[in-house]
Structure 1
Amino acid sequence: MSYQALMNSLKRKVVLPVYLFWGEETFLLEEVLAKFKYQLIPPDVRDFNMDVVEGKNVSPEDIVRLATTLPFMSDKRVVIIENADLFKAQKKTGEKSDQAKSQEELLIEYCKQPLDTTCLIFTSDSVDRKKKLFKAVQETGMAVEFTPLKDTELNDWVENRINGMGKNIETEAVDELVAAVGSNLRMLDAELRKLFNYTGERKVINREDVLQLVSKTTNLSIFELVDAVGERNSQKAIQLMREMIIYGEPPVRLLFMVAKHFRTLLQAKTLYLTGYAEKQVATQLQIHPYVARKCVRQSKNFSREELEQALEKILETDISIKTSYREPVLALELLFVNLCRQERAI
């Protein structure tokens, strides 16, 4: 089941008796847990009707005991078992004892016939879908994998997040922010809060706000740098490079990002010339559609031969820096001038 399906059910106020949450996107997982913790039980009786325990500290029998306790002055109890190893693939370290098997069977039976008055929630960093316990949760509850959001989902999340704060954000601003920060929701949330405060009484956040405010420690400056090189603007590229080195960015990392960008430009150009549309380029290269549009546009500034030669020049620069043949800042300046002064492709 998806995160969106879970959110839709919660909007309809449908609360199931058993849940299992796992996956890489811990920010979303933590937010969903907070909803269960703070919205399902009235504050004045929460202490009597909520248990949050570490999976390693409780046995299956303990979990069943907590789950079968009736609520006190509330319609529901919430029991959260964090980092539950019970759902992971079993390590080959010998057979489980009869007692362990018996206790696990007890928990499986509970999950198949849970109490409606208890909401039992397990979290785990990974699961084995073949386990009986996993299947038992699916029978009466919901197993939700929290995977990183991509493309439209990610943009929608940003828009919904800022809407929830009482403001709107332009599409171009969303694209710029996602391209700069990436898909890390924790970082995106931090930047959105800064943008909210920065724009004051203004109700709409625009692209210029993002360019002005998004932290120099994010990928935005690197994105601007490779963008400037891709647009053959050596003056801007050199200025950004000097600023970023002052901010502590290692020259070798900047060179790596330029190399990565030119490899993407070469791939984008090859696909586009083959007949791929921009959306197809994004899918093939597994990059954000906004980045794909820019790469296709920038690739038109270079011929295939120029892009191949550019990668060779970047390699030569890398060697000159690592062998101390040339001072890093000077080496990057010469590279940017070299890349940007070539004849434009037709």
Structure 2
Amino acid sequence: MPVYYFWGEDEFALRQAVEKLRDRSVDPMWASFNSERIPPEQADGVLVALSLALTPPFGAGQRFIWLPETPLAQQCSDAVYAELTRTLPQMPETTVLLFSSTGKPNGRLKSTKLLQKVAELKEFSPIPPWRGEALEQQVVQVAHEVGVRLDREAVACLAAAVGNQTRQLYSELEKLKLFQGDRSEPVTARIVQALVSTTTQNSLQLAAAIRQGDCDRALSLVSDLIASNEPALRISATLIGQFRMWLWVKLLQERGERDPQAIATAAGIGNPKRVHFVLQEVRSLTSRQLQQTLPLLLDLEFGLKQGADPLGHLQSQVIALCQCCQPPRSRL
């Protein structure tokens, strides 16, 4: 399929995919003639791209045309839509036409519906930090791509260290590849801990500290996260996701549900085998305690979106959250 639409907020992963698609399509000897990037500020960029797309490439390989940050799937004039309708179904196999944007395509637009029919759409959004299995799968995939052999514990350790930071993941794996060299044995968790910089004091660690009512550790993690430039709203989103999941699991357990698959489906847990460990995590908490955290988490998110000081607002809400999760006799 010669037409593609890439979208999502993971700019590094999206750019990596763009470069791979271009390298796969364009003959390096003819790259200066056959590779075009139409800047987003060019008003008639879509029409120019469509015109170029119908032009045969010079020499060997295909012609590659990329329109970054195109508004095509967010807004589209009738004139542009008419040209898309006329041109896209007739795209020659000698051309690769790529549209990309940060924002999600608006499925109600005619232009988006047309792209869904004639183009390959691919999302490049960061994996939510609480989706541990998906983060580990991403580590496995990128490690295979880079050419690094990791044992299972090393995969988990690296996923915890870099979270959903794709750029750092590639960087750390390149470092581990240099260290591994010609050794036949896989990289271990001990090596990962020694070599990998943990730029994210993981927000999941913060959620765990709050769940345990460990106020001192939670406040320390908040300071570390903010100092390492972790966006406060991303921290908030992770906490909301974790506590919502814990509440679902606890409610289902209290209602007598015993099927891990049913619990996993209701709580949004990808791997039913993880349910056993989640049940262990919420064993010391009641559903009432977990319910009491939700208004505090919503206040946290609302305050941050209203411009509250990230560090101060996080600290005050984390203290209140920790108090909710402490045993009754331990609460202040």
How far has the Cα of 1:113 moved from its partner?
1.1
How far has the Cα of 1:117 moved from its partner?
1.7
| Residue 144 in structure 1 maps to residue 122 in structure 2 | yes
- The count of residues paired between Structure 1 and Structure 2 equals 296
How far has the Cα of 1:36 moved from its partner?
2.1
| Residue 109 in structure 1 maps to residue 91 in structure 2 | no
Corresponding residue for residue 253 of structure 2: 272
| Deviation string, structure 1 residues 291-339 (Cα, Å, up to 9, x no partner) | 7554322333x2538957997xx99xx9xxxxxxxxx9xx98xx79x95
> What is the rounded CA distance, in whole Å, between the counterparts of 1:244 and 1:226 in structure 2?
10
Name the aligned partner's letter for residue 217 of structure 1. Answer: T
1:51 to 23, 36, 41: 36
| Residue 299 in structure 1 maps to residue 265 in structure 2 | no
| Deviation string, structure 1 residues 23-75 (Cα, Å, up to 9, x no partner) | 34433322221012222222121001111112441344422321122211113
Corresponding residue for residue 67 of structure 1: 53
Match of 1:205, SS state, is coil
Corresponding residue for residue 186 of structure 2: 204
> What is the rounded CA distance, in whole Å, between the counterparts of 1:242 and 1:87 in structure 2?
43
Larger displacement relative to structure 2 (166-175 or 199-208): 199-208
Corresponding residue for residue 29 of structure 1: 14
> What is the rounded CA distance, in whole Å, between the counterparts of 1:24 and 1:165 in structure 2?
22
Corresponding residue for residue 168 of structure 1: 149
- Work out whether residues 166 and 203 of structure 1, in 8 Å CA contact, stay in contact via their aligned partners in 2: no
Question: Map of 1:274-289 to 2, 5 A cutoff?
Answer: 274=255, 275-278=257-260, 280-286=262-268, 289=271
| Deviation string, structure 1 residues 105-135 (Cα, Å, up to 9, x no partner) | 2342111212222112222334334544444
Name the aligned partner's letter for residue 304 of structure 1. Answer: T
Quick one: structure 1 residues 145 and 245, their matched pair in 2 at CA, closer, same or farther if it must change by over 3 Å?
closer
| Residue 120 in structure 1 maps to residue 97 in structure 2 | yes
- Work out whether residues 161 and 200 of structure 2, in 8 Å CA contact, stay in contact via their aligned partners in 1: yes
| Deviation string, structure 1 residues 65-105 (Cα, Å, up to 9, x no partner) | 21122211113111112222233235xxxxx6xxx72x542
Quick one: structure 1 residues 19 and 224, their matched pair in 2 at CA, closer, same or farther if it must change by over 3 Å?
closer
Match of 2:60, SS state, is coil
Quick one: structure 1 residues 288 and 187, their matched pair in 2 at CA, closer, same or farther if it must change by over 3 Å?
farther
> What is the rounded CA distance, in whole Å, between the counterparts of 1:247 and 1:128 in structure 2?
33
| Deviation string, structure 1 residues 128-154 (Cα, Å, up to 9, x no partner) | 345444444444442334444575554
Corresponding residue for residue 157 of structure 1: 138
> What is the rounded CA distance, in whole Å, between the counterparts of 1:65 and 1:305 in structure 2?
60
How far has the Cα of 1:218 moved from its partner?
0.7
How far has the Cα of 1:19 moved from its partner?
1.9
TM-score (norm 1): 0.63
> What is the rounded CA distance, in whole Å, between the counterparts of 1:241 and 1:213 in structure 2?
26
Larger displacement relative to structure 2 (171-180 or 103-112): 171-180
Quick one: structure 1 residues 341 and 190, their matched pair in 2 at CA, closer, same or farther if it must change by over 3 Å?
farther
> What is the rounded CA distance, in whole Å, between the counterparts of 1:176 and 1:33 in structure 2?
29
- Work out whether residues 5 and 120 of structure 2, in 8 Å CA contact, stay in contact via their aligned partners in 1: yes
Q: Percent same amino acid among aligned pairs?
A: 24
Name the aligned partner's letter for residue 52 of structure 1. Answer: R
How far has the Cα of 1:162 moved from its partner?
0.9
Quick one: structure 1 residues 31 and 108, their matched pair in 2 at CA, closer, same or farther if it must change by over 3 Å?
same
Name the aligned partner's letter for residue 158 of structure 1. Answer: V
Match of 2:6, SS state, is strand
TM-score (norm 2): 0.65
Corresponding residue for residue 7 of structure 1: none
> What is the rounded CA distance, in whole Å, between the counterparts of 1:82 and 1:153 in structure 2?
27
Match of 2:67, SS state, is strand
Name the aligned partner's letter for residue 32 of structure 1. Answer: A
Quick one: structure 1 residues 239 and 135, their matched pair in 2 at CA, closer, same or farther if it must change by over 3 Å?
closer
> What is the rounded CA distance, in whole Å, between the counterparts of 2:196 and 2:327 in structure 1?
27
1:218 to 200, 214, 220: 200
Name the aligned partner's letter for residue 113 of structure 1. Answer: Q
- Work out whether residues 112 and 137 of structure 1, in 8 Å CA contact, stay in contact via their aligned partners in 2: no
Match of 2:99, SS state, is strand
| Residue 82 in structure 1 maps to residue 68 in structure 2 | yes
> What is the rounded CA distance, in whole Å, between the counterparts of 2:239 and 2:93 in structure 1?
57
Over alpha carbons, which structure has the higher Rg? 1
Match of 1:75, SS state, is coil
Match of 1:157, SS state, is helix
